Amino acid sequence: MAQPAKRPATYADLDALPEGTKAHLVRGALVVPPRPSMSHQEVESALGEELRPPFHRGRGGPGGWLILMVPEVRVGGDALVPDLGGWRRERLPAVPAKAHATIAPDWVCEVLSRSSAAFDRGEKLDVYASWSVGHAWLVDPTTRTLEAYRLEAKRWVRVGGWSENARVRVEPFEAFELDLASLWSALTTPDED
pLDDT band at 6 (very low <50, low <70, confident <90, very high): confident
CA distance 184 to 50: 12
- Give the per-residue pLDDT at 191: 40
Mean pLDDT score of the chain: 94
Closest CA to 126 of 103, 151, 91, 109: 151
CA distance 187 to 161: 20
pTM greater than 0.85? yes
CA distance 98 to 123: 25
Each residue of 115-142: pLDDT tens digit? Answer: 999 999 999 999 999 999 999 999 999 9
Measure CA 73 to chain center.
11
Cβ-Cβ contacts under 8 Å for 70 (sequence gap 6 or more): 22, 44, 81, 82, 83, 84
28: left (phi over 0), alpha (psi -120 to 50) or beta: left
pLDDT band at 112 (very low <50, low <70, confident <90, very high): very high
Closest CA to 78 of 135, 18, 14: 14
Torsion of CA 158, 107, 165, 188, to 10 degrees: -120
Domains detected in the chain: 36-192 (3.90.1570.10)
Long-range contacts of 119-125 (CB under 8 A, 24+ apart): 119/31, 119/33, 123/26, 123/27, 124/24, 124/26, 124/80, 124/82, 125/149, 125/156
CA distance 189 to 130: 37
DSSP-derived 3-state class of residue 158: strand
